[in-house]
Amino acid sequence: MNAPASHSLPAIAIPERMLTFGLGGEHFAIDAQCVREIMEVPAITRVPGAPAFADGLLNVRGAIVPLADLAIVFGMERAAHNADTRIIVIEAAVEEEAATIGILADKVFDVASLDGAPVESPPQVGMKWRTDFIIGIARHAGRFVILPDLPRIFTECVGQIHRAAPHLPA
Amino acid sequence: MTASILTVDDSPSLRMAVRIALTGAGYNVVEAGDGMEGLSKAGTQRFDLIITDLNMPRMDGLTMIRELRKSPTQTGVPIVFLTTESEDGLKAEAKAAGATGWLVKPFNADQLVKVARKVLGR
Amino acid sequence: MSDGADPVAAFRIEAGELLDQVERALLDLTGAPAHRGLIDEVFRGLHTLKGSGAMFGFDALARFTHHCESAFDRVRKGQAPASRALIDVVLSARDHMQALIDAGNSSDPALDGAGEAILARLASAVATAPAAAAMDAAPAPEAAPPEAEAGWQIRFRLPEGALANGSNPLALLDELRDLGPCTVVCRMGELPALDAFAPAECHAAWEVTWAAADAGEISREAIEDVFLFLIDDMELTITRPGAPAATADAPPLPADTAEGPAAPRPAGPPRESVRVQAERLDELMNRVGELVIAQSRLELLAMAQGQVDAASLRAVSEDIQRLSAELRDTSMALRMMPVAHLFGRFRRLIHDLAQETGKSIELVTDGEATEVDKTVIERLADPMIHVIRNSCDHGLEPAGERAAAGKPATGRIVLSARQAGGEVLIAIRDDGRGINRARVRAKAEAQGLIAPGAPLADAELLQMIFAPGFSTAAAITNLSGRGVGMDVVKRSIETLRGTIDIDSTEGDGTTITLHLPLTLAIIECMLVRVGAGRYAIPLSAVEECLELPATEVAGTRRRNFLDVRGELVPYLRLHDSFASDHPADLYQKVIVVAQGRGRVGLVVDQILGNTQTVIKSLSRFHAGVSAFSGATILGDGSVALILDVGALIAGAQKARRTRGDRPAESAGEAA
């Protein structure tokens, strides 16, 4: 369909409450309901041979949780960790199955209701990111907030991993 | 005093069913898995009633009943055996061996409790 | 007052076991058809199933089993032989019974039809007409015609030995009194002379009378019912005073089967249960007890004011460490089951396969007492069935071919199990024709798995069998299907973190060996450091640890070999494999691991010691990195990756090949 960019489409269903956080200079928002906890950055175990976007492992209360860096997904610079960096532990669907995943955030802002704010689907052109990875873009507190489609992103990346079948260099 | 009933059967599920029915009616129940165990348990404690299957490995019910009756301490203890429809001839043999009464399989909890009450008088 | 136990569920489990016993006895009977003990065993099993089935509401099962029992009774009485045909029918009947149990009380016309067919075969096998349904509902108790206004009077006397046999006249009198207000008179008139007086006998007789006003509700049956157990042997007269024609002893009542037991609840998934040795449970309790004590000592130390005595703390810590290890072992032991369980199932399989293929096949087992984790046993069944089917279908030759080859007419399948180090080895061996290398080669080339003419080691050629869709069977029989068996088998074994080996000699036979880790969840590991990361290597794979000789430290990447007591052992620098940007240690260590039939060294920066680890699986994101089979959380809370030694090395070999190394290096790779 040749929908023109930047016009409001039939309402995109967004969750009531969203957690907003900053990453790579942009603001993101995800469904607050799927957030299990927010923690400071613990020791991250690197997994040799794993794709850059998810090459870390964490211990979250005795469970081994993979660490995903959305910055890599969106082609942003990987930031160094500082005092504000947090890990948001979420429950998301990966290939239709529930999984626990940690994502990096440069800074966590708050849980807000985006209700009433107009949500637009991402424009087809002029976007530096893959549009199918984004549910939409909203305006909140004077800024553009990106709503990433996490299940889509994770499923796609896992699929890539399967296809690449990585092995370690000798 | 609560009556104590010994149930002897090699089928754990049947013992379970009997136990549930009888404890529900206020009796104490002790289980044994075959004739030998039944004899041994009866030797350690005088039961108010013994309910036994006939068809068991190691020592069958009839043999157990006969052995039980040989012992003076078991005189007068009511013994009820479990039987199936087709085993009519067995009733006479069992009575000759010393059984007091019988219960025909399949039976439900009420029928079991009724027989227990009948034979125990309480 | 329910204690949560469900007799119906318990019956299902029991019935399953009974059916297994019956099956075993039937299979044994094929080899010894006149064996009385086995015949009785089968009969007893059927009889018990019939009785208990009816008890718990499995009416269809009870009816079906009744017919089988009657038929087998003829064998028991010697009126029909335990022929092969009969045994096969009863085996089918046994399967049907299992199906009936699984179906519960829901009716299924297809199932009923199948049942009828089996009963028909059964009937012809014992050459008799099937017994008319003997499990009809009991005839309704005869209703006594209502009598006119009259009372009842009965007189009764107990038979000899009644008291000794547990009859209680007082209870009988109470029951009679419950029927209605009555007068009871004890008649001592017939007491014998003193010297004939047996104190244990009841010499009294009783008369019980109900007046007409009180007798309205009382029926003759009700009175006779009181004497249910004695009526055949006792003296009992029942009269209706005030009415003509007294009747003599009434005939005994039919048994009380008017009300049946409740129907079984719909079959939910059976709660899993495990047979556990009592001693293991006792041990577990002891350990837990000791742990509780150690824990309270720890608590005291923690609450102590002032300095904590380091020695005491250490002592408690060591105790707890020891106890946890023992608890771990004991708990795992609870889950261990002998493989006999598993091997037993295959007896029936081989029996059926022999029928289907028309070959004579015998099954030999070895090491049945070897124990394996319960989950592993459950997940091994299907892959092993596949392998056994393959052997019976393709491996074993038909009788003619065997004779020509000088082999005994009966093909032989040997199942063996043994523990070696941290593994359990289960082997399936057949003495058939072995794997035809030429055919495998041709098939592999046809499927594009190898280039025509490319050199390939025998071991690697055999591994082609595990490629998806591979099948060298000229004719795809019904049994083994399209060769999807072997790659699925391999994957199933790998899911259990095991490996699978093939050994085969053309003309002689084939052996498939499954290597399985001793337990799924906890393994003993060697912790090492490579760069900034820590990794765990399963101890079962580790053979020895050496220092990396100074000469090798600065060595080039091309020639990675060590001389270990004259043996050339290739090695892998994990620092490079893991692309660690941490500078390498000066003195590195080599951990020599067993891989396939060879040995390989893994070079690490530091050995941190042994530890027992709980294996946790990697997420989907990392599942693709085959070098790691899982991860574990160390004592300090950090995560260590667990190396999958085989995959790690295989991956390195592949990488080297892709890099196009010269053949000289390739020759150094472990087989």
Predicted confidence (pLDDT) per residue in B48-77, tens digit: 999 999 888 888 899 999 999 988 888 889
Could you give the 3-state DSSP secondary structure of residue C524? strand
Residue C44 has pLDDT above 80, yes or no: yes
The helix (H) or strand (E) run that includes residue B67 is helix B61-70
> In this predicted structure, what is the pLDDT of residue C260?
37
Return phi, psi of residue C653, to 5°.
Answer: -60, -45
% of chain C residues with pLDDT over 70: 84
CB-CB neighbors (< 8 A) of C653 in chain A: 170
> In this predicted structure, what is the pLDDT of residue C484?
47
Q: By C-alpha distance, which of C348, C352, C426 is closest to C393?
A: C352
More confident: C106 or C471: C106
Tens-place pLDDT, residues C569-608: 888 889 888 888 888 787 889 999 887 667 899 999 999 9
How many Cα atoms occupy the beta-carbon half-sphere of C553 within 13 Å?
13
| Gap between the Cα atoms of A41 and A36, Å rounded | 15
Could you give the 3-state DSSP secondary structure of residue C427? strand
Q: Which residue of A has its CA nearest to C651?
A: A167
- Please state whether at least 3 CB pairs lie below 8 Å between chains B and C: yes
Q: By C-alpha distance, which of C560, C574, C572, C571 is closest to C530?
A: C574
Provide the H-helix boundaries in C556-635: 574-577
- Contact: A166, C572; criterion CB under 8 Å: no
- Contact: C48, B119; criterion CB under 8 Å: no
**Residue A48's CB: how many other CB atoms inside 10 A?**
21
What is the pairing mode between strands C522-530 and C183-187?
A: unpaired
> In this predicted structure, what is the pLDDT of residue C254?
36
Instruction: Answer for the pair B88, C243: CB distance below 8 angstroms, yes or no.
Output: no
Tens-place pLDDT, residues C543-557: 899 888 877 665 555
ipTM for the complex shown: 0.88
CA distances from B20 to C173, C421, C532, C639 (A): 29, 48, 62, 50
- Range C137-145 average pLDDT: 44
> In this predicted structure, what is the pLDDT of residue C97?
93
Residue A2 has pLDDT above 50, yes or no: no
- Range C278-292 average pLDDT: 80
DSSP secondary structure, B47-60, as one string: -SEEEEES--SSS-
Q: How far apart are the first and last CA of chain A?
A: 48
> In this predicted structure, what is the pLDDT of residue C330?
75
> In this predicted structure, what is the pLDDT of residue A165?
46
**Residue B107's CB: how many other CB atoms inside 10 A?**
24
Which of C47, C229, C232 to substitute to test the interface with B, most B CBs within 10 Å?
C229
Task: Kindly state the tokens that stand for C147.
Answer: 């009598």
Q: DSSP E strands: which ranges in C57-194?
A: 152-157, 183-187
Provide the pLDDT confidence category of residue A89 given band limits of 50, 70 and 90.
very high
Interface of C with B in 241-270 (CB under 8 A): 255-257, 259-262
Tens-place pLDDT, residues C482-507: 444 688 888 888 878 788 999 999 98
- Residues whose CB falls within 8 Å of the CB of residue C550, separated by 6 or more in sequence, listed in order: none
- Range C109-120 average pLDDT: 86
| Gap between the Cα atoms of C127 and C145, Å rounded | 46
- Contact: A47, C641; criterion CB under 8 Å: yes
Provide the pLDDT confidence category of residue C133 given band limits of 50, 70 and 90.
very low
CB-CB neighbors (< 8 A) of C62 in chain B: 106
> In this predicted structure, what is the pLDDT of residue A164?
53
CA distances from C457 to C464, C505, C667 (A): 11, 15, 11
- Contact: C620, A94; criterion CB under 8 Å: yes
Provide the pLDDT confidence category of residue C132 given band limits of 50, 70 and 90.
very low
Tens-place pLDDT, residues C384-440: 998 998 899 888 999 888 999 899 999 999 999 987 766 789 999 999 999 888 888
Q: DSSP E strands: which ranges in C470-560?
A: 499-505, 509-517, 522-530, 533-538, 542-547
Residue A139 has pLDDT above 70, yes or no: yes
- Contact: B106, C259; criterion CB under 8 Å: no
| Gap between the Cα atoms of A17 and C266, Å rounded | 43
Long-range contacts (CB closer than 8 Å, 24 or more residues apart) made by C327-332: C327/C284, C327/C287, C327/C288, C327/C291, C328/C522, C328/C612, C330/C280, C330/C283, C330/C284, C330/C287, C331/C284, C332/C373, C332/C519, C332/C521, C332/C522
Provide the pLDDT confidence category of residue C466 given band limits of 50, 70 and 90.
confident
> In this predicted structure, what is the pLDDT of residue C670?
36
Interface of C with B in 100-159 (CB under 8 A): 134-135, 138
Distance of CA C160 to the CA centre of its chain: 52
Provide the pLDDT confidence category of residue C660 given band limits of 50, 70 and 90.
low
- Range B68-93 average pLDDT: 84
CB-CB neighbors (< 8 A) of C578 in chain A: 48-49, 168
Burial state string for C3-32 with b = 16 or more CB within 10 A and e = fewer than 16 = eeebbbbbbbebbeebbbebbbbbbbbbee
Task: Confirm whether pTM is higher than 0.80.
Answer: no
Residue C246 has pLDDT above 60, yes or no: no
More confident: C256 or C303: C303
> In this predicted structure, what is the pLDDT of residue C554?
55
- Contact: B13, C229; criterion CB under 8 Å: no
Q: State the residue for tokens 């920066």.
A: C605
Strand partners of residue C412: C362
Residue C474 has pLDDT above 60, yes or no: no
Could you tell me if A99 lies within 8 Å of chain C, comparing CB atoms? yes
DSSP secondary structure, C191-254, as one string: PPPGGG--TTS---EEEEEE-HHHHTT--HHHHHHHTTTTTTTSEEEEE-TTSS--B-PPPPPP
- Contact: A170, C638; criterion CB under 8 Å: no
| Gap between the Cα atoms of C8 and B107, Å rounded | 14
> In this predicted structure, what is the pLDDT of residue C307?
78
Provide the pLDDT confidence category of residue B19 given band limits of 50, 70 and 90.
very high
- Contact: A45, C640; criterion CB under 8 Å: yes
Of A43, A166, A170, the CB nearest to C625: A166
For CA atoms C18, C19, C20, C24, the dihedral sign is positive
